[in-house]
Structure 1
Amino acid sequence: MHLARRMQALQSNVFADMDRAKARAIASGQAIVDLSLGSSDLPASDWVLDEIARSLHDPQTHGYALFHSTQAFRESVARWYQDRYGLPVDPETEVLPLIGCQEGTAHLPLALLDPGDVALLQDPGYPSHAGGVHLAGGEVSLMPARVECGFLPVLDDIPPAIRDRARMMVLSYPHNPTTAMAPRSFFEEAVAFCRRHAIALVHDFPYAEVVFAGRAPSVFEADRNKDIAIEFYSFSKSYNMGGFRIAFAIGNRALILALRQVKSVIDFNQYRGIANGAIAALEGPQEGIRQTVAAFRARRDAFVAALHRHGWDVPLPPATMYVWAQLPDTWSGTSLGFCTQLVETTGVALAPGSGFGQAGEGYVRVALVRDIPTLEMAATRITDFARSQ
């Protein structure tokens, strides 16, 4: 059987390697403490679940959800954004429902890239950003995001030959995996760069609310007229609705329309009952977000303090649900090797930095998705393992 050449770029996946390592650990009798995946263990709010439960018994929600049936959801999104950021949004032309942010970032390259066109992606960055580019026949050009630059890419370092073939740039702040924040001034620089070179600016924004001090800026605070940008929002992190697979895009109407056209030949929209739950999340009490952020702040503080007590100095993350930790100097192997041996030896599963790109080598990402006693126990096992090498 012949497989398309585009599949070749999708063969390497360190997370599949980690999945096999976890399976081996389970087979040997280890109890797994899985801190490798950013899937929140916190519950969705009761009023969200109540609205979804009510919708299940409404037969009007049981059919296909075409674009016009999402009007109430889109209007709710537009009101939420204006209340949150003070900028108007047209729910008819500037909002699109998504089945998770990953759907948007994977499908948008099909609308923007012809074979051979370039997408500018962060390194390290979220792995699915590259997958959509490969499926569209585009070329990935990595923008290194180094610690000495605050994990922000240096746009002036992009070679002119690459810049002139670029059709899209993908940013994501607060940043997964490094937890870095980007100031509004950086977005202003990125918007000016992309406007100057006719590049679509894509901002993946799932951690918009999971910030421990201050506020994460929206890209439209820099691109106020929505000239060149599109921004993706998720209910997975702010509202603990990861398994419900509901998200939305806001942005330039040409980009929204193009993504809508791609989406129309691939899928319909999310089940309307889940969309109704999402409306309840946006319009109901926001105490759930505050509780979620407080829980991850407390976990962050306890886990980082535990690592420090055991002699592993890592920075305090300003945002997200992760800790981005540089491996100790005593470890001479790869980040994947560290993580596979760690889970097989101790049962603690982390994400290897190399899974997020070349610049992630030498780091591990820890998802704070267990309670504080479990995280403190994991910190002890991780540091004991590191010292034993």
Structure 2
Amino acid sequence: MQFADRLKSLSANVFADMDVAKAAAIAADQHLIDLSLGSSDLPTEGYILEAIAQALQDPTTHGYALFQSTRDFRVAAANWYAQKFGITVDPDTEVLALIGSQEGTAHLPLALLNPGDFALLQDPGYPSHYGGVYLASGQMYGMPLLAEHNFLPVFSDIPTPVLQSAKMMVLSYPHNPTAAIANLDFFTEAVEFCQQYNLALVHDFPYVDLVFDRSQPPSILQADRQRQVAIEFFTMSKSYNMGGFRVGFAIGNQALIKALRQVKAAVDFNQYRGILRGAIVALAGSQEPIDRMVQTFQDRRDAMVKALAEIGWKVPTPSATMYIWARLPERFASDSVKFCQDLVQATGVALSPGKGFGKSGEGYVRFALVHPPSVLQESARRIGEFIN
């Protein structure tokens, strides 16, 4: 049996290797503390679950969900966006329901790239951004995100030959894995750069609410109010603890929304309409639960930063996301994968190796703050025994 050449690029996966290492640690009777996955451990709010439960009794929700059946959700998303950012968008032409934002970021390259075209991606960056370009037979140019530049790309460093063949740029702030944030001036620069080089500007925005100083991170569309080049992806997974329900949406340029909708129509329908009803209730209802969620992760951040300092590993205090991006101690910095594999084998604590997010991530690890402070403190204690 023969398989497509595109699978060769997907054969190596650091996170699959880490899953093997975690399974081996469990088999060796280690008590696993998994800080490697950014999947919230917090429950979905009861009023959201109740809306979904009530929909189960409505037989009109039981069939296929095509585009028109998502309109109530698209209207709710447009209203939420207008209230949050002060920008009015058309729910029929500028909003698209998605089975999680990852579906959108992975499928959009199929609509934009011909084989050999470049996508400008963050390095380090979220793996599905790379996977979608692989599947579209595109080429990737990793824009290095370095601490000395506050983990923001330097657009002037992108080679001219790459720009001549580039069709899209992908950004995501607050950023996974570095937890960096970007201001509106940076987004304005990005919009102008993409207009100059005729690039689609893609902004993945899962951490729109998860900031710790009560500020509102900017939307890319605040820098592109006419929606000339930009599309933005949102998810219900982080703000509303609905990761398993797989619901998100895109807002932006009409042509980009239409192109993504064409790809989507060839691949899938939408999720169960009852889930969309729950999402509508979440977007339209009280946002007070988000404040509690943010405070929970801030408490965890503070506990973990302090616990790591106590074992001699000083890390920056992130101002957003559910992650800590930490430079490895010098003697471990050359191989983040080996460090993480050895750590989980010896202690049961699982982290994400920085190399899994791109070559510029080597020398770092990512902590996902998906356990209560007491568990995070215990993980730091075990890490301290390992590194010291």
If the TM-score is normalised by the length of the shorter chain, which range does it land in?
A: over 0.9
1:382 aligns with 2:383: yes
* Other-structure match for 1:134: 134
* Other-structure match for 1:288: 289
The structural deviation recorded for 1:311 is: 1.1
The structural deviation recorded for 1:310 is: 1.5
CA distance in 1, matches of 2:177, 2:117: 26
**Normalization by structure 1: what TM-score?**
0.99
CA contact (8 A) 1:35 1:367 kept: yes
* Other-structure match for 2:266: 265
Q: Secondary structure at the match of 1:237?
A: coil
CA contact (8 A) 2:333 2:364 kept: no
Structure 1 residues 204-246: Cα deviation after superposition (integer angstroms, max 9, x where no partner)? 0000100112221100010001000000000000000000000
CA contact (8 A) 1:44 1:241 kept: yes
CA contact (8 A) 2:64 2:270 kept: yes
The structural deviation recorded for 1:382 is: 1.1
Q: 1:370 is aligned with what amino acid?
A: H
Q: 1:178 is aligned with what amino acid?
A: T
CA distance in 2, matches of 1:382, 1:318: 23
Structure 1 residues 65-94: Cα deviation after superposition (integer angstroms, max 9, x where no partner)? 000001100000010000000000100000
CA contact (8 A) 2:327 2:333 kept: no
CA contact (8 A) 1:38 1:321 kept: yes
Q: 1:90 is aligned with what amino acid?
A: D
1:249 aligns with 2:240: no
Relative to structure 2, which stretch is displaced further, 331-340 or 192-201?
A: 331-340
Identity of aligned residues (%): 60
Q: Secondary structure at the match of 1:68?
A: helix
CA contact (8 A) 2:172 2:204 kept: yes
* Other-structure match for 1:32: 32
* Other-structure match for 1:233: 234
CA contact (8 A) 2:234 2:250 kept: yes
Q: 2:170 is aligned with what amino acid?
A: V
* Other-structure match for 2:280: 279
* Other-structure match for 2:357: 356
Q: How does 1:19-98 map to 2 (within 5 A)?
A: 19-98=19-98
* Other-structure match for 1:210: 210
Q: 1:363 is aligned with what amino acid?
A: Y
Q: 1:266 is aligned with what amino acid?
A: V
Q: Secondary structure at the match of 1:236?
A: coil
The structural deviation recorded for 1:333 is: 4.5
CA distance in 1, matches of 2:211, 2:197: 32
Structure 1 residues 129-182: Cα deviation after superposition (integer angstroms, max 9, x where no partner)? 011101111100110010000000000000111011110000000000000001
CA contact (8 A) 2:333 2:363 kept: no
The structural deviation recorded for 1:196 is: 0.7
* Other-structure match for 2:148: 148
CA distance in 1, matches of 2:329, 2:305: 15
Q: Secondary structure at the match of 1:88?
A: coil
CA contact (8 A) 2:170 2:204 kept: yes
Structure 1 residues 80-113: Cα deviation after superposition (integer angstroms, max 9, x where no partner)? 0000000001000000000011100110000000
Q: Secondary structure at the match of 2:332?
A: coil
1:224 aligns with 2:230: no
Q: How does 1:94-173 map to 2 (within 5 A)?
A: 94-173=94-173
Detail structure 1 runs of 4+ shifted over 6 Å in the superposition: none
Q: Secondary structure at the match of 2:321?
A: coil
The structural deviation recorded for 1:33 is: 0.6
Structure 1 288/345 Cα, relative in aligned 2: closer, same or farther at 3 Å?
A: same
CA distance in 2, matches of 1:44, 1:332: 38
Structure 1 residues 48-68: Cα deviation after superposition (integer angstroms, max 9, x where no partner)? 011001111111100000000
CA distance in 2, matches of 1:60, 1:383: 56
CA distance in 2, matches of 1:309, 1:344: 23
The structural deviation recorded for 1:332 is: 5.5
CA distance in 1, matches of 2:208, 2:384: 31
CA distance in 2, matches of 1:248, 1:197: 27
How large is the Cα RMSD of the aligned pairs? 0.7
Relative to structure 2, which stretch is displaced further, 329-338 or 246-255?
A: 329-338
Q: Secondary structure at the match of 2:36?
A: coil
The structural deviation recorded for 1:309 is: 1.5
Number of corresponding residues: 387
CA contact (8 A) 2:333 2:362 kept: no
CA distance in 2, matches of 1:39, 1:288: 17
The structural deviation recorded for 1:331 is: 2.1
* Other-structure match for 1:331: 332
The structural deviation recorded for 1:384 is: 1.8
The structural deviation recorded for 1:125 is: 0.3
CA contact (8 A) 1:31 1:347 kept: yes
CA contact (8 A) 1:47 1:284 kept: no
Structure 1 residues 291-316: Cα deviation after superposition (integer angstroms, max 9, x where no partner)? 11000000000000111111111000
Relative to structure 2, which stretch is displaced further, 242-251 or 303-312?
A: 303-312
* Other-structure match for 1:181: 181
Structure 1 residues 313-355: Cα deviation after superposition (integer angstroms, max 9, x where no partner)? 1000110000001101132541010100111110010000000
CA contact (8 A) 1:113 1:138 kept: yes
